Amino acid sequence: MCIDGVNTVACLKPVDTGTSAATTVTPLPHMYVVKDLVVDLTSFYQQYKSVEPWLKRKSKTKTTEGGLREHAQSPEERKKLDGLYECILCACCSTACPSYWWNSEAFLGPAALLHAYRWVSDSRDEYGAERVQALAEGWDKLYRCRMIKSCTATCPKSLDPAAAISAMKTLHQLGKP
Give residue 22's pLDDT.
87
Kindly report whether the global pTM for this prediction surpasses the value 0.75: yes
Contact 12, 77 (CB under 8 A): no
Q: Is the pLDDT of residue 176 over 90?
A: no
pLDDT at 71: 82
Instruction: Spell out the SS3 assignment of 79-100.
Output: HCCCCCCCCCCCCHHHHHCHHH
If one looks up domain 2-14+22-53+80-174 in CATH, what number appears? 1.10.1060.10
Whether residue 115 is predicted with pLDDT greater than 80 in this model: the reply is yes
Question: Residue 65 half-sphere exposure, CB side, CA atoms within 13 Å?
Answer: 0
- The DSSP code for 58 is S
Confidence at 177, pLDDT banded by 50, 70, 90: low
Domain-wise residue ranges, the chain: 2-14+22-53+80-174
Residue 91: how many other CB atoms lie within 10 Å: 22
In this prediction, residues 41-60 reach a mean pLDDT of: 94
pLDDT in tens, 83-110: 999 999 999 999 999 999 999 999 999 9
